[in-house]
Amino acid sequence: EPRYCLSLTNNKLFVISMCIAMIILFGVFVRYNEESDTRWIEHRRRKNISTNLENDFYYRYPSFQDVHVMIFVGFGFLMTFLKRYSFGGVGFNFLIAAFGIQWALLMQGWFHYLDDDGKIKIGVENLINADFCVAGCLIAYGACLGKVSPVQLMVLTLFGVTLFAVEEYIILELLHAKDPGGSMVIHTFGAYYGLTISWVLYRPMLSQSKHLQGSVYHSDVFAMIGTLFLWMYWPSFNSAIADHGDGQHRAVINTYLALAASVLTTFAISSISQKHGKLDMVHIQNATLAGGVAMGTASEFMITPYGSLIVGFCSSIISTFGYIFLTPFMEKTLKIQDTCGIHNLHAMPGVIGGIVGAITAASGGYQAAGLFVAIAFGLVGGALVGGILKLPIWGDPADANCFDDEVYWEVPEDEDENMLSSHPNMNHARGMPDA
Amino acid sequence: EPRYCLSLTNNKLFVISMCIAMIILFGVFVRYNEESDTRWIEHRRRKNISTNLENDFYYRYPSFQDVHVMIFVGFGFLMTFLKRYSFGGVGFNFLIAAFGIQWALLMQGWFHYLDDDGKIKIGVENLINADFCVAGCLIAYGACLGKVSPVQLMVLTLFGVTLFAVEEYIILELLHAKDPGGSMVIHTFGAYYGLTISWVLYRPMLSQSKHLQGSVYHSDVFAMIGTLFLWMYWPSFNSAIADHGDGQHRAVINTYLALAASVLTTFAISSISQKHGKLDMVHIQNATLAGGVAMGTASEFMITPYGSLIVGFCSSIISTFGYIFLTPFMEKTLKIQDTCGIHNLHAMPGVIGGIVGAITAASGGYQAAGLFVAIAFGLVGGALVGGILKLPIWGDPADANCFDDEVYWEVPEDEDENMLSSHPNMNHARGMPDA
Amino acid sequence: EPRYCLSLTNNKLFVISMCIAMIILFGVFVRYNEESDTRWIEHRRRKNISTNLENDFYYRYPSFQDVHVMIFVGFGFLMTFLKRYSFGGVGFNFLIAAFGIQWALLMQGWFHYLDDDGKIKIGVENLINADFCVAGCLIAYGACLGKVSPVQLMVLTLFGVTLFAVEEYIILELLHAKDPGGSMVIHTFGAYYGLTISWVLYRPMLSQSKHLQGSVYHSDVFAMIGTLFLWMYWPSFNSAIADHGDGQHRAVINTYLALAASVLTTFAISSISQKHGKLDMVHIQNATLAGGVAMGTASEFMITPYGSLIVGFCSSIISTFGYIFLTPFMEKTLKIQDTCGIHNLHAMPGVIGGIVGAITAASGGYQAAGLFVAIAFGLVGGALVGGILKLPIWGDPADANCFDDEVYWEVPEDEDENMLSSHPNMNHARGMPDA
């Protein structure tokens, strides 16, 4: 079976070749900008800047760190909820985010930060934008969680970042739409990109790994670490690249209020919808964040404090009902298997955010066009990349081994092993034999 | 049984009605202040402010984020220590904190931030104060952990925030006492409020859920996440609304030193007090924080670095001995069941903090009066709210089902289930039948 | 057996006597500096400083908090990976860090911050430096994890901080070498200090606790909390005391890029090296951080973005291969038992960092001399302190009870107990009988 050997080689060499490619591309293209270079001192003198505090670093680094925590701990731990895929949840999130930020620095650099000398000049703002760009791919990962190989995730990220850089350029630079927290650019695009990939990769026999598709008690507590860090730092996410002064200030207040309303609403709807009035951890872990997603476009608009509460209220109602009714419907009827329910947390609240932006912005038509572009890039891009990922060369897990860390990780043998893991001689990826 | 139906309806509709009430009240009362409004630019021009950096946002947002993490991750994870109440610990903390900050913005707004036009004008400072206000209710939750329903917690928070806003007004505005880190206003009040409620709600047969009243290995590790984030960010808590310049700087140093001394002292006392010299995780999780509580009033005073060490040293000795001797005594003799031992972590160190403030402040008498007001509000308010919560309409758990997430949450079936949870047909709340 | 009694008394009284010693020494020596003292206002007037924002507090406090999280949550949770030593991992890390920062304020104060009046004047910069100093001892703890008593750790920290203050003084003040992120001063010194101690304390019969020397599924997830907070905040670590302006800005970018390359490289090498292409959590938890260690000396140098990627790439290759080949070799042949593999994460990447610094700095010779001093202090200091710790008075655990929290902690009885813990009547420390 030469295909297997190819796959095996692929898996092992793909990542290392990406390392080396990044070094070469950075060597050719990437340099410090005038605020991170020793030329800063002469730049200050030339521009008559009185203090080092005017270096962009001091404006943006705290926001950057909050966003960074959201990307690595927030997304990472939110995806640890499965009983036997916590290593893959937090670990592959780590892998593709660290890969994605390098590729994003290049892609966004070529589109936005190319200097006269043909070099990309980077500073702290680039680091924030790279985190934003990667967020789209991590959302897409949420739909595919447990069903794809790490190399497939690398490919998903490679193309995802590329598509992101283009749609972002069209929406923000050509259409001049506003989207500081990325309701459209990040959430809508990322969600439809991931959902379409998951649709192309549909697995009719996924019920073979049904016993691994739930959580255990402590994996749900781990996921709450992700939820809370996302929830707490979301005001930083939506304000990180907002206008200085009242713009950033208002973006924080609006996002904070929308998120507070989301929590209350999610608890209410979750309790109302269950037959014994019990709460569902899936809702609490996810729908409490819908207000942050939906406030991404309009975060710095004058939508008033109660307007923010209404946005959080509506988006969490739709998000929670999505988990209850839409996810099962999509899986059965539309053949879309959405592990984390990103349709409920990112797609619908993202579209709501885009619509809120179109209604409240002066240039509503361009905002609406932006939303359309984000959806189109997600759907078309997802179909293309899904087709590539369907090739039988990427070492994805067999249906019976989905949601199982055993396939890609050395898992410690512990007391639960015999109860939880599947048959030991079945733990290998498709196209990746033990040898 | 109409009372049960009422309760069932109550539980499901109470939260959603709160969402809507908040939207209406915010619509009537809450607006952006001049630093979070587009009027900021004209405000800058009028006041001759040279740079956006003078917007209060840039002074206070980093401190706010640290406090925010303490409220949601710190308090939330500290309460995950029980073997089968981790969902309730971190989840209900999330619910009541998100509810409380909305209600606090209104209550504190009416008392402190009402503008000439009858509107509450909010900015980042209000967000910090709302977090502070909610902290008092979360402390009270600690005494009731595992024994009350989410709706009871909402009621506890509704009244708790209201009482807080009044006592804070009396202590800070009328008595002009100093209390930047809230030893009196937050900790003393919150602790006596919660303890009195717990006393009113005394359950003589609580031993029926004795098998759920401890931790398991990993729930203790989860609780350390809460402990450490509280410990690390406490200097931000005690300095967030201290005076700019040396005031904030000194508040950080004093709190940092008191906390460092607390850790050492707690390890020493915990080891000395146990028969085999073994350490008790309950002490490490809690009494290591006593120095932060006790430094709340005097944080920005010139009490010298070694003065701070002494405060941390003394408060942790008292706190650790409290866990060893006082908690069992209070339960047996005073009929106060204090799940998290808030008497040891918040009440006694809070009173110490108030006394340290009264001794070291110029206006010691007013400080002492402030401490008295905080205790009185806690006791009287707790008795009243406890009486309300004793009504048999709130769906609180039966004695045998206390400390059990099964009552309010869909808990994943995992390998431990049969060993840990109580009989499946006993998992329902009082006044909340399965139907 | 009087030796046992002595030990028992020692254990219980050592910590409390340290508390009191610190209070006395702080009383004699430590005072606020002019920026954390009420004299700040007159200082401002005298120096014509226009705004409180110029108080060093506002420059450095956010960086300090990031470093603080690394020390307490980062190091602490990274050490929770063992199946039955998570309490000791995060708990003793908490103890010795809180003790170490107090002693470091004194030691570094005497060497660097002594005022004319014979007092140490402290501000926020001292707090950062104290955290740095403690990091060296926490690294050393990594080699000894599970094999030493808390009192031994206190002694290790007492001498480690002392040695650190001296070598730091020689390297930075006498040799004028650059080392803002401490590749040499912190990582190289700390690692060789810990490895030498571990070599002196070699336990030939350690295989008696072999059943406790691995992880369980969820302990590996806990460790990822540590890894991620270290990874995310490492740019703050390497830039916290770099030069204002472009220096700090560049230190962040360089560290961020080195770390991103490290993640990719570690995943690649880990997968290549395992026979079935599976990933090893030990590598992901540790070698992903090697780039941060290796960028410590040259963080603010103009080594270019691709230079940073190369540093991250090379250091993670060496680090991962170290875990695979060197750790077993060192244990078998060199008789060095290195629980956390600090040789791979700190020693080798630290030396790489020192060499990168020597190559890229103008004064390469002094940098190389600095590296030599760090190694020498680690080896000689470790041999001396190891000799002290070998005395049979410190209550260290028996070989069969290493890596077992039961020895020093009240461990909750849970469902796993019978499977994991060793025989109950064997759970006592050497020289520390149950009585």
- Tens of pLDDT, residue by residue over B334-352, are 999 999 999 999 999 999 9
Helix ranges, C187-300 (H): 189-200, 217-239, 246-273, 281-286, 290-294
The pair phi, psi for residue A32, each rounded to 5°, is -70, 150
Pairwise CB contact (< 8 Å): B19 & A261: yes
Residue A24 lies in a domain: no
Contact A310, B23 (CB under 8 A): yes
Q: What is the pLDDT of residue C296?
A: 96
Q: Which of A20, A36, A221, A420 is best to mutate for the C interface (most C CBs within 10 A)?
A: A36
C125 closest CA partner among B299, B251, B249:
B249
| Structural tokens at position B78 | 């500290």
Q: Which helix (H) or strand (E) holds A201?
A: none
| Structural tokens at position B275 | 């028969």
| Structural tokens at position A132 | 């934003």
Per-residue pLDDT band for A94 (boundaries 50, 70, 90) equals very high
Between CA C168 and CA C372 the distance in angstroms is 12
Residue B170 lies in a domain: yes
Residue B84, class by beta-carbon neighbours within 10 Å (0-12 exposed, 13-18 middle, 19+ buried)?
A: buried
Cα A325 to chain center, whole Å? 23
Residue B30 lies in a domain: no
| Structural tokens at position C389 | 């710790």
What are the tens digits of pLDDT across the range A403-425? 999 999 999 976 544 444 433 33
Which pairing describes strands A30-32 and A120-122: parallel, antiparallel, or unpaired? Answer: parallel
Pairwise CB contact (< 8 Å): C102 & B233: no
A164 closest CA partner among A147, A184, A146:
A184
CA distance C67 to chain B (A): 10
Pairwise CB contact (< 8 Å): B216 & C412: yes
Which residues of C are less than 8 Å from B224 in CB distance? 76, 90-91
B234 closest CA partner among B267, B264, B256, B249:
B256
Contact C53, C181 (CB under 8 A): no
What are the tens digits of pLDDT across the range A117-137? 999 999 999 999 999 999 999
Which residues of A are less than 8 Å from C214 in CB distance? 412-413
Predicted confidence (pLDDT) at residue A343 exceeds the cutoff of 80: yes
Which residues, at least 6 apart from C327, have a Cβ–Cβ distance to it below 8 Å?
A: C338, C341, C343, C344
Least confident of A201-215, C42-56, C127-141, C403-417: C403-417
Per-residue pLDDT band for B292 (boundaries 50, 70, 90) equals very high
Contact C328, C382 (CB under 8 A): no
Q: How many residues does chain C have?
A: 435
Residue A20 lies in a domain: no
Mean pLDDT of chain B: 90
CA distance B409 to chain A (A): 5
Which residues, at least 6 apart from B397, have a Cβ–Cβ distance to it below 8 Å?
A: B146, B147, B148, B149, B404, B407, B429, B430
Between CA B41 and CA B47 the distance in angstroms is 10
Pairwise CB contact (< 8 Å): A271 & B409: no
What are the tens digits of pLDDT across the range B102-153? 999 999 999 999 999 999 999 999 999 999 999 999 999 999 999 999 999 9
Q: What is the pLDDT of residue A362?
A: 84
Q: Which helix (H) or strand (E) holds C116?
A: none
Quick count: other Cβ atoms within 10 Å of Cβ A434? 11
Pairwise CB contact (< 8 Å): C257 & A102: yes
Q: Nearest CB to A231: which of B31, B32, B72?
A: B72
| Structural tokens at position B187 | 């900790």
Give the type of residue at C323.
Y
Give the type of residue at A3.
R
Return the partners of chain C (3 or more C-beta pairs < 8 Å): A, B
Between CA C146 and CA C197 the distance in angstroms is 14
Q: What is the pLDDT of residue A50?
A: 78
CATH number at residue B399: 1.10.3430.10
Contact B394, B431 (CB under 8 A): yes
Residue B315 lies in a domain: yes
Between CA C58 and CA C56 the distance in angstroms is 5
Pairwise CB contact (< 8 Å): A220 & B412: yes
Between CA A251 and CA A303 the distance in angstroms is 10
The pair phi, psi for residue C82, each rounded to 5°, is -70, 150
- Per cent of chain B over pLDDT 90 is 81
Please give the residue range of the domain that contains residue B344: 66-114+126-406
Q: What is the pLDDT of residue A415?
A: 53
CA distance C412 to chain A (A): 16
What are the tens digits of pLDDT across the range C89-147? 999 999 999 999 999 999 999 999 999 999 999 999 999 999 999 999 999 999 999 99
Q: What is the pLDDT of residue A173?
A: 94
Nearest-Å Rg of the Cα atoms of chain A is: 22
Per-residue pLDDT band for C293 (boundaries 50, 70, 90) equals very high
A312 closest CA partner among A341, A344, A290, A287:
A290
Per-residue pLDDT band for B10 (boundaries 50, 70, 90) equals low
Predicted confidence (pLDDT) at residue C349 exceeds the cutoff of 80: yes
Residue C416 lies in a domain: no
Total domain count, chain C? 1
C-alpha angle with apex A227: A221 to A228, nearest 5 degrees? 95
Between CA A106 and CA A114 the distance in angstroms is 10
Identify the residue whose tokens are 């104290």: C130
Residue C28 lies in a domain: no
